[in-house]
Chains A and B, each alone.
Chain A
């Protein structure tokens, strides 16, 4: 199999010539993935149309594209958050380490522990900072106080939040600033030791300083797990990611290593978008 096939295994591999993912390095893979929403009138609205791509392990992959092009939808199929929308219909395949995540008998909570997700708006639980981080551990029945303490500290350190919250571990998490809350959510997600971390515009609700901190955090996590980040900020994608996919209108237009996509886009549409001529 050519490397080319691996990156975009669908038929139209002609779109793409960045051939660098080893088959053994593929973490997430979609094949012919389509997603439609039933709107009120009974009409089907397509959000994703025949998407096939591979995501490399322990790299940062960014999804960019204009608003409403289906970036979030694509991300949400990776941990089956799309199941929550009763009107959504999904066809095609998503494979995590080769396993079809939509197969019968898949343990969805287990899948979501392996594929963590951070949302656009910080959503800490109305509990203490400590309990937020311990939440996922308590779910799997962790009771040992010492172990919990250690784990909470390690995760908060990994999320570069420890120094700011170590004196207020038992205060409500809702008292933290927006940037701190988002890093707390990342720490909370790290606590269940996911293999993949999905970030849906994690910094779009934050101020520039907080955004910078989140970006640093993403770079520091790169060695530990596979990251997929959705962003509408192209500079951000260029700064943090190794590979970038450009989506438009539910279709995957171009997918290439980041420097290549930004300096030498193959597609006209991509070029227009990254030079700001549309979108």
Chain B
């Protein structure tokens, strides 16, 4: 009965919506927040795309420079056969029927004014040919209609020299290791002419590489021997005075002297062997002549390389770029990487104790009155001061103030040459510590605020003093927040360039701030910084066009270095958060 009754009663409001018009449906879609979801997703994807664009620009821009592109040999038309339209100054200079070997960089259509007054499009090619005197690449614009033939010779060689020059050409002859005469054929192996098979060249280069390593080992051993000999000679002098020189001792000395002499001779012959090797290169429009094998850093035949070979060569050259020191013209990022990392590490070492102490004072010790609140607000605002202002402060206070004072007190004998009274890595780190101090304080304070009261009471109830409670319970529980502060500080400091230019960064530092001479860490030295190197390569060099790939490469290295610094800090925070999971609420 009851069932029948209830089922017959129609419900007043159905759960189903009544049918809606399109407009009503749209307005409901809007009210439900549908468009917001899409908008948010769009914002995320746009940011992601921009990030990926940035990374790929850096990757392509920098790796393209190290990628061994194919070498093209171009035969130009005889100047006589040119039409009247092409006989302008450029082409006259090049168009002498020669062959040119190089990398094809780019094509461009330019409009040229002809004698009859009409403008005619003309296609130009940009060819990078062998470097001349300096390390800078040399470029040639060639009008396409002057080209006669275009080939990709298998045996075309690209040579990277130790002074930074890149040469292209064909191997012609190689000096024989024993006689020193130039020979054009591979005598020991296949017997083919060198121009067709350059294997002996690569064998010789590998050989030289291992000999250089040998040489370094021998040299250090030689130094050891000479030290031993000096010690013995002094002993001899002492014994001679007291008249206790034995025959064995004299023998010992002469044996040591003999060992040193043989070692020196070995060194000499090795060095001679190294410098003796010569390569005769047919430059094809570039360097024609002999090159000392020792000068060659790397040689490859781009047209004969497969994809794998190209890739490994690219990575090798990039690794060299990372580990090299830039010398006159040569490229390298190592001192800048080292300087950046050391500066950030020093900055962290300085800022963490100060920031944590200050936050502990503000949050745990100070009476929470108006003054504390004011200090807190002031600190937070300090985070917004432009970094160049910190640079000015660092220059005025640290360099001219503290540094000059230190010089007067401790390095007076070296004045007027400043020791600490000029920019240096210490002042840079201190300036950046000031810059990042507010971030660390704010993050630490927030972490301390999240440590629950019951933890503190628990420690106090066990008879811990306030200090013990702080150091044994509160600070460990807040340590993930401390590391968050460190991460923010590192992220901000590693990318700063402007203030550093005032307090210690230079274009080329003669020495790293760390070496094997006492006291190992030289805080007064100037240093190199990746961010500054990017700026310097892009705007301060004479050859901005050929430097552009290096700008990308350096920027890429900077991004990767900051990423690594951050990732290690994040890893540390993760470990601490695991450990103190649930300690904060």
Contact = CB atoms under 8 A, between A and B. Distances in A.
A270 B463 CA distance: 36
B463 A113 contact: yes
A139 B454 contact: no
A109 B463 CA distance: 4
Given A116-B461, A125-B455, A125-B477, 8 more contacts: A81-B457, A112-B461, A119-B457, A121-B454, A125-B459, A125-B583, A136-B462, A139-B463
Contacts, number: 68
A188 B476 contact: no
B454 to A, nearest CB: 4
A192 B463 contact: yes
B579 A172 contact: yes
A277 B402 CA distance: 77
Interface in A168-225: 172, 174, 185, 188-189, 192
A13 to B, nearest CB: 32
A129 B582 CA distance: 15
Interface in B459-479: 459-465, 468, 472-473, 476-477
Q: How many B residues are at the interface, by size bracket? A: 20 to 34
Contacts of B462: 112-113, 116, 135-136, 139, 188-189, 192
A123 B454 contact: yes
A117 interface: yes
Q: How many A residues are at the interface, by size bracket? A: 20 to 34
Contacts of A124: 458
A139 B464 contact: yes
A28 to B, nearest CB: 16
Contacts of A79: 461
A110 interface: yes
Interface in B555-581: 579-581
Contacts of B460: 81, 84, 112
Interface in B428-466: 452, 454-455, 457-465
A92 interface: no
Contact of A174 (B452, B457, B472, B581): B581
Chain B, interface SS category: helix
A68 interface: no
A84 B465 contact: no
A89 to B, nearest CB: 17
A192 B455 CA distance: 17
Can you list the 8 inter-chain pairs with the closest CB atoms, starting with the nearest?
A126-B583, A113-B463, A123-B454, A123-B458, A109-B463, A117-B461, A126-B580, A174-B582
Interface in B72-88: none
A125 B463 contact: no
Interface in A101-117: 109-110, 112-113, 116-117
A28 B459 CA distance: 23
Contacts of B582: 126, 174
23 contacts: A81-B461, A109-B463, A109-B464, A110-B463, A112-B460, A116-B461, A119-B457, A119-B458, A123-B452, A125-B455, A125-B458, A125-B477, A126-B455, A126-B476, A126-B477, A126-B579, A126-B582, A127-B476, A136-B462, A139-B462, A139-B472, A189-B462, A192-B463
B295 to A, nearest CB: 62
A112 B463 CA distance: 5
Contacts of A123: 452, 454-455, 457-458
Contacts of B468: 139
